[in-house]
Amino acid sequence: MNLTIRLDHVTRRYRDAVALDDISFQIGTGVTALLGPNGAGKTTLLSLLSTAAAPDNGTVEVFGHRADGTLAERTAIRRRLGFLPQEVEFPSGMTAFGFLEYIAVLKEWNDKTARHREVRRVLDAVQLADRPTIKIRKLSGGQRRRLAFAQALIGDPDLLILDEPTTGLDPEQRAVFRATLSERGRHGTVLLATHQTEDVGAVCDQVLVLDRGRVAFAGDVPSFIDSARGRVWVDDAPVPDAVASWRDPNRRVRSVGGEPPPTAEPVDPTVEDAYLLLVGPTPGVEVAA
Amino acid sequence: MNSWHVDERALRAYAERELVALERASVEAHVMGCGSCRGELGRVARGSVGTVSFEDLWGRVQTRVEVAPSVRTARWLQRIGVADSDTVVVRQIARQCLQWTIAATLVLALAALAATLGLHDSAQLGFVLIAPLLPALGVAATYRLTPTTTAALEITSPYSPARLLLWRTGYAVATAVPASVAFGAVIPGDPWMAVAWLLPGGACTALVLVAATWTDPVRPAVVVAVSWLGIVASWQVRHVPDAVVTPSTQLLSLAVALAAGAVFARRLLVLRVPVL
């Protein structure tokens, strides 16, 4: 595994609130999921890694460069980075092509022919190649999300940092998106902050879970799922002291955690089960029906 | 299905960019809808342009159609020496700051209107208050009007922040100065008034520019604006409303502008921020 990201005893505060509390971890090539409840520090972590902010303590290194170092060091990181913020508010009056061309210029695509070819490539990658001249305000929510994703793909960056990329995508688009991420994870690094635990099982190699500013889990996906083995059951009624219970597609009640009654049958855990056991249910986490 | 096709000579002239605008548009319109001519264009292009692939050429045709509305602006900017990639940045700034440009022009127009209605003193006071601040406030507006997440993409891109700041300053100056000079010329009083605000305006802008190397330009712009309002108010209190045209004001403004410019250049060196 080639090391892409290294955090060493990083702390970041906002006035009295500690967003990240003395965290250390490393991320290499492949797709890594970043999970955590709202307010766990995910967005703060992404802003540090994308060089938009600096830590109060500790070091953040990306490709061996300090993310809070000199402008030359930050620029070296930025040249290899594709970043998708959680919400992308597009400039008014722009077309899809115009927006992507602007981002391409910011990414130093100075040659006009090559730049236009690159814009068409990423439009094609997100299945918007037939809508380059449409005004962004006329695009649907899912199309805007795909356009936002397209800007992160410009220049085929070695590191993709994506904050909630699948929000607003329909199942078919999510399948295309997952295929794109899997492909990129083979030769680069993708850090995917998400609440959609299905995406983790489908495309991720590693999992990093943040909870209240600290690392609650860092490891590969099978280990993460295994951490819940023997603690997930189905029965006709919920387990009283379970972390979470819900009715599965077979109309039985799936319970995570707690002491099961003798009638409960153990089942194979999922990423979602492991996550719920680790941090408990939160309003931000989608629980599958 | 098309009943006619573009002849080879015209396709070759198109590929070699020898057609005038109307002819190019006609060929483009036909080629976009005619597979046969697209194929022929690819063959001709390979022969006449050499290293350009059909894919590239067809991409150029598509792009030309896609970005047609902004081509004139880009050409004008390129004619005055602006690099093609920078014209994209300038067009983006202009698009985002259209509201600002309209608002600034309206404010100046109101001052001129007041003058034509006989409110000479009010018009002059309004002009002296507003004109020097417009470029400085324009710099702040170019940042304030950029959507937050677009700003995040700018910050995390390798594009030089100093270059972006200078383009935004250039845009603010280029839009504010001609309008201010034009409206200043119709306001009665000292004829120098139409241009006398330029040096104070330069000083205000340079102060915001240098402060922007430490912080968001909006805060320094507000400080500069309040300070300038205080200076103009003090002139009113001392019954010297024409003080802006005096040599002492002009020299002081020049000194402030030069000092701020020197600090700005020094900051870029210290921070190792490339402009190019």
Give the closest of A79, A94, A113 to B158, CB-based.
Answer: A79
Mean pLDDT for A154-162 is: 95
The CA R_g of chain B, rounded to the nearest whole Å, is 25
- Residues B36-61: pLDDT tens digits? 887 788 777 665 544 556 655 655 65
- Residues A194-217: pLDDT tens digits? 988 888 988 999 999 999 999 999
What pLDDT is attached to residue A217? 95
Sign of the dihedral defined by the CA atoms of residues A226, A230, A235, A239, in that order = negative
What pLDDT is attached to residue B17? 61
Cα A217 from Cα A228, distance rounded (Å):
12
pLDDT at A42 over 50: yes
Residue A81 forms contact with B (CB below 8 Å): yes
Q: How many CB atoms lie within 10 A of CB B19?
A: 17
pLDDT at B186 over 80: no
Is the CB of A105 less than 8 angstroms away from the CB of B89? yes
Residues of chain B with Cβ-Cβ distance to A65 below 8 Å are none
Cα B113 from Cα B242, distance rounded (Å):
20
Q: How many CB atoms lie within 10 A of CB B39?
A: 12
Range from B12-21, B99-108, B241-250 carrying the lowest mean pLDDT: B12-21
Is the CB of B159 less than 8 angstroms away from the CB of A116? no
Is the CB of A103 less than 8 angstroms away from the CB of B153? yes
What pLDDT is attached to residue B174? 86
Going by the DSSP 8-state scheme, the letter that residue A90 receives in this structure is: P
What pLDDT is attached to residue A27? 95
| A28 confidence band (pLDDT: 50, 70, 90) | very high
- Residues A223-252: pLDDT tens digits? 999 999 989 999 888 888 888 888 888 888
CB A14 within 8 A of CB A164: no
SS3 A144: helix
Instruction: Provide the whole-model pTM.
Output: 0.77
What pLDDT is attached to residue B71? 60
Name the residue of chain B whose CA is nearest to A87's CA. B149
Tell me which amino acid residue A66 is: R
What pLDDT is attached to residue B22? 66
Q: How far is A262 from chain B (nearest CA, A)?
A: 53
Q: Which residue has the higher pLDDT, B275 or A165?
A: A165
Is the CB of B153 less than 8 angstroms away from the CB of A106? yes
Q: Percent of chain B, pLDDT > 90?
A: 15
A283 token code pair: 């309003």
Q: How far is B1 from chain A (nearest CA, A)?
A: 21
Cα A241 from Cα B96, distance rounded (Å):
55
Q: How far is B138 from chain A (nearest CA, A)?
A: 17
Residue A131 forms contact with B (CB below 8 Å): no
- Residues A132-155: pLDDT tens digits? 878 888 888 888 999 999 999 999
Angle at A251 between CA A246 and CA A255, to 5 degrees: 30
Cα B135 from Cα A81, distance rounded (Å):
34
CB B193 within 8 A of CB B245: yes
Residues of chain A with Cβ-Cβ distance to B78 below 8 Å are none
What pLDDT is attached to residue B206? 92
What pLDDT is attached to residue B25? 73
| A284 confidence band (pLDDT: 50, 70, 90) | very low
SS3 B94: helix
**What share of residues in chain A are helix, strand, coil (percent, to 5)?**
35, 30, 40
What pLDDT is attached to residue B70? 55
Name the residue of chain A whose CA is nearest to B86's CA. A105
Q: What is the DSSP string of A98-141?
A: HHHHHHHHHTT--SHHHHHHHHHHHHHHTT-TT-TTSBGGGS-H
- Phi and psi torsions of A255, nearest 5°: -125, 140
| Sequence-distant (≥ 6) Cβ neighbours of residue A231 within 8 angstroms | A256, A257, A269, A273, A277
What pLDDT is attached to residue A155? 95
B153 token code pair: 């993409």
Mean pLDDT for B67-85 is: 71
CB B264 within 8 A of CB B209: yes
What pLDDT is attached to residue A283? 44
Residue A3 forms contact with B (CB below 8 Å): no
Q: How far is A260 from chain B (nearest CA, A)?
A: 47
pLDDT at B66 over 50: no
Cα A11 from Cα A27, distance rounded (Å):
18
pLDDT at B185 over 60: yes
Q: How far is B270 from chain A (nearest CA, A)?
A: 11
Range from A14-18, A30-34, B189-193 carrying the lowest mean pLDDT: B189-193
Question: Angle of helix B120-130 relative to helix B133-144, nearest 10 degrees?
Answer: 50
- Residues B203-218: pLDDT tens digits? 999 999 888 888 888 8
ipTM: 0.83
What pLDDT is attached to residue A149? 93
Query: If you search the block for the tokens 């200076």, which residue do you land on?
Result: B231
Q: How many CB pairs under 8 A join A and B?
A: 101
- Residues B83-131: pLDDT tens digits? 888 888 888 888 777 777 788 788 777 777 777 776 767 777 888 888 8
Q: How far lies A267's CA from each of A120, A207, A257, B5, in Å?
A: 47, 22, 12, 68
Name the residue of chain B whose CA is nearest to A96's CA. B66
Cα B9 from Cα B12, distance rounded (Å):
5
